[in-house]
C-alpha cells in the first residue's frame, strides 16, 4: 500500500473540524459506566447470607414438622388387629388379666406355683449380680494401694406393665403389701402414654366381643364437641356441691334468678339428693 | 497486536481485576467513541444508550478479550455492532449507497472544493454534522472510523466486513459527498 493509499483523506483536518465542539459523554454516564466496571470485578464475598438463610429456613421447617408430630396434638395412630398380633406386648403374660374381660372369659387355670418358674422381674434381678462397693471399701482399697473400679451405674429393671399385687400368690402378695414395689411406683411416674393394644388374656377358644376399631383423626375431629361436652359434665360432677351452691346463692343475690335455677337443676343432676338433704325445699 | 499497544495492556489488566486500568482506558477513548456514536446514530438520547451498551459489552467480554488486534479495533467493532443493533431495533431505514456516488467522487477530486476553507467560512460544524447525517450508512461508518477512531483502512474493512479496497472506496465517496455538500452550503450563503 502506498503512502497515498494509506492517507486517502486528510484525517487531521477533518478531525479538527469534528473535535471543535468538545463533545463527550455526560458525567452521569461516566459515573454509571465506571461503577459498572468496578462492580463487575468486585469479589462476591457478601453473598453468604443467601445460603445461610436457606439453611435456617429449612431447619426451622424440619423442627416445626417434628414438633407438630411429636407434640400432644399428634393424631392417634390406627391400631389394627395385625399390629396387635405382631406386637411383642400381645404375647400373653401369665397371670395378667384384663379386669373388663374377666367376667366374659372362662375361668383361667390357676397360676403356676411360685417355685415352678421365677417371675420375670425376679429372674432379671437374679441374672444381674451386683457387687456393692461402699465408701469404706474404697477408702480401705486406697490405703492398701489397690485400684477400685468405680461402681457401675445402677440399671433399673425394665418397667413391667402390670400392678405389683395382681396375680401374685398369697405369700408374695403379703410381701408385696409389706414392701411397696418401687419399680411399680417408678413406672407410674414415668408412664406418659398409654397404648391399648387389646386383651392379653389367652383366649384361644373364645372370641372377642369387642372387635378392634380403627379410630381415625376425622372421627376424633367429628367427636370434638361431644368430647368437650363430656369434659364439661365431668368437671361439674367433680365440683364440690357446697361451693356450687354458694355460687348459686350469689347468682340469686345478684338477681340472676334464671341462671340460678338452671345451675340448681344442674346441681341436682350432678349430685342427686344432696339438695334435698342439705337444703330442704321448705327453707 | 501491535507492539506497545498500551490500551491492550490496560484491558488485560482490567480483566485481571485492576479497576484503575479501566479508568485509564475509558478516559482515553470516551470522547472519540462518544462522537463516533453521536455522528453515527444522529440522536442525542440514543447516543447515550448506545454508548453505555458499548461499554457494557466491553466489561462483559473482558475475560474473553484476546489482544490479537489493536484495542481500538476491538472497541470500535463493538461500537459499530451496537449502532447496527440500534438501527435494527428502531426500524430506521438507513440510507444506502446510490449510483450517483461515482459522480460525487469524481467531483471530490476537484481540489477547488477543499472542505476546510468552506467549512471554516461559516457555521462549519453544524453543516458538517448535518452533512454527515445525509451520508449513506456504510460511507458514514467508514468516514467516522477513519477520522474519529483513527483506524486504518484494513481495520475499517475488518470492522465493517469488507476488504480494505472497498473501505477505501467508501471513504472517498464519503469525503467527496461532504465536500460537495459543504461547498453548496457555503455558496448558498
Closest residue on chain A to B60 (Cα): A40
Domain for residue A208, yes or no? no
Count of pairs with CB atoms under 8 A, one residue in A, one in B:
91
User: Model-level pTM?
Assistant: 0.45
First CA to last CA across chain A, in angstroms? Answer: 137
State what percent of residues in chain A have pLDDT above 70: 35
Of B14, B119, B172, the CB nearest to A17: B119
Contact A36 B55 (CB under 8 A): yes
Write out the three cell numbers for A59: 431447619
DSSP strand E in chain B: where? none
Q: Alpha carbon B181 to chain centroid distance? A: 19
Is B14 close to A41, i.e. CB distance below 8 A? yes
What CA–CA distance (Å, rounded) separates A129 from A131? Answer: 7
Q: Nearest by CB to B59, from A1, A5, A36: name it.
A: A36
Which residue's C-alpha cell is 456393692?
A132
Would an 8 Å CB–CB cutoff place B48 in contact with chain A?
yes
Sign of the Cα torsion B96, B98, B101, B102 reads positive
Residue A97 lies in a domain: no
Tell me the residue range of the domain where A273 lies: 227-278
Taking only the tens place, the pLDDT of each residue in A196-241 is 555 555 555 555 555 555 666 666 566 555 566 666 666 666 778 8
pLDDT of the residue at A176: 44
Q: What share of chain A is helix, strand, coil (3-state, %, to 5)?
A: 55, 0, 45
Mean pLDDT of chain A: 65
Mean pLDDT, chain B, whole residue set: 80
Asked if A20 contacts B125 with a C-beta cutoff of 8 angstroms, the reply is yes
Could you say which of 3.40.50.2300, 3.40.50.300, 1.10.10.10, 3.40.190.10 is the CATH number of the domain covering B101-188? 1.10.10.10
Q: Residue B175 and residue A17: Cβ atoms within 8 Å?
A: no
For chain A, the domain total comes to 1
A17 contacts B14? CB cut-off 8 A: no
| Structural domain includes residue A251 | yes
Phi, psi angles (nearest 5°) of residue B6: -65, -30
What is the percentage of chain A residues whose pLDDT exceeds 90?
11
Taking every pair of C-alpha atoms in chain A, what is the biggest distance, in angstroms?
141
For chain B, the domains span 6-90, 101-188
- The whole-number pLDDT of residue A43 equals 75
Cell numbers describing residue A165 = 399385687
Is residue A54 domain-resident? no
Q: Domain B6-90 carries which CATH code?
A: 1.10.1740.10
- Domain-located, residue A117: no
Mutation for B interface: A5, A7, A9, A28, most B CBs within 10 A: A9
Residue A14 with chain B: CB contacts under 8 Å? 115, 143, 147, 175
Amino acid at each position: 500500500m502506498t503512502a497515498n493509499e494509506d492517507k486517502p483523506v486528510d484525517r487531521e483536518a477533518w478531525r479538527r473540524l469534528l473535535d471543535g465542539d468538545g463533545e463527550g459523554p455526560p458525567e452521569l454516564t461516566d459515573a454509571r459506566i465506571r461503577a459498572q466496571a468496578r462492580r463487575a470485578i468486585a469479589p462476591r464475598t457478601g453473598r453468604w447470607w443467601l445460603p445461610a438463610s436457606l439453611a435456617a429456613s429449612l431447619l426451622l421447617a424440619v423442627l416445626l414438622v417434628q414438633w407438630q408430630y411429636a407434640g400432644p396434638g399428634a393424631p392417634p395412630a390406627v391400631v389394627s388387629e395385625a399390629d396387635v398380633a405382631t406386637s411383642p406386648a400381645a404375647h400373653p403374660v401369665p397371670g395378667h388379666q384384663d379386669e373388663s374381660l374377666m367376667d366374659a372369659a372362662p375361668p383361667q387355670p390357676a397360676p403356676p406355683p411360685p417355685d415352678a418358674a421365677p417371675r420375670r422381674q425376679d429372674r432379671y434381678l437374679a441374672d444381674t449380680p451386683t457387687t456393692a462397693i461402699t465408701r469404706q471399701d474404697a477408702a480401705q482399697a486406697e490405703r492398701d494401694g489397690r485400684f477400685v473400679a468405680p461402681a457401675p451405674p445402677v440399671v433399673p429393671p425394665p418397667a413391667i406393665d402390670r400392678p405389683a399385687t395382681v396375680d401374685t400368690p398369697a405369700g408374695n402378695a403379703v410381701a408385696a403389701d409389706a414392701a411397696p414395689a418401687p419399680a411399680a411406683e417408678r413406672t407410674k411416674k414415668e408412664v406418659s402414654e398409654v397404648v391399648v393394644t387389646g386383651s392379653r388374656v389367652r383366649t384361644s377358644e373364645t372370641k372377642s366381643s369387642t372387635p378392634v376399631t380403627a379410630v381415625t383423626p376425622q372421627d376424633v375431629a367429628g367427636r370434638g364437641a361431644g368430647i368437650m361436652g363430656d369434659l364439661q359434665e365431668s368437671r361439674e360432677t367433680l365440683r364440690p356441691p357446697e361451693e356450687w351452691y354458694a355460687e348459686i346463692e350469689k347468682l340469686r343475690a345478684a338477681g340472676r334468678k334464671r341462671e340460678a335455677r338452671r345451675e340448681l337443676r344442674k346441681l341436682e343432676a350432678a349430685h342427686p339428693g344432696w339438695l334435698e338433704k342439705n337444703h330442704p325445699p321448705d327453707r | 497486536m501491535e507492539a506497545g499497544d498500551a490500551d491492550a495492556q490496560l484491558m488485560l489488566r482490567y480483566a485481571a481485576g485492576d479497576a484503575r486500568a479501566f479508568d485509564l482506558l475509558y478516559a482515553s477513548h470516551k470522547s472519540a467513541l462518544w462522537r463516533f456514536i453521536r455522528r453515527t446514530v444522529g440522536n442525542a438520547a440514543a447516543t447515550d444508550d448506545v454508548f453505555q451498551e458499548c461499554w457494557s459489552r466491553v466489561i462483559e467480554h473482558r475475560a474473553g478479550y484476546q489482544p490479537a488486534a489493536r484495542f481500538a479495533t476491538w472497541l470500535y467493532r463493538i461500537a459499530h455492532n451496537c449502532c447496527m443493533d440500534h438501527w435494527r431495533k428502531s426500524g430506521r431505514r438507513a440510507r444506502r449507497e446510490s449510483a450517483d456516488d461515482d459522480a460525487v467522487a469524481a467531483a471530490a477530486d476537484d481540489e477547488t472544493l477543499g472542505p476546510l476553507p468552506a467549512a471554516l467560512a461559516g457555521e462549519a460544524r453544524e453543516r458538517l454534522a448535518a452533512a454527515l447525517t445525509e451520508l449513506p450508512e456504510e460511507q458514514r461508518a467508514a468516514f467516522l472510523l477513519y477520522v474519529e477512531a483513527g483506524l486504518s483502512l484494513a481495520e475499517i474493512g475488518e470492522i465493517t466486513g469488507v476488504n480494505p479496497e472497498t473501505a477505501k472506496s467508501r471513504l472517498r465517496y464519503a469525503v467527496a459527498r461532504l465536500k460537495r455538500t459543504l461547498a453548496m452550503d457555503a455558496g448558498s450563503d
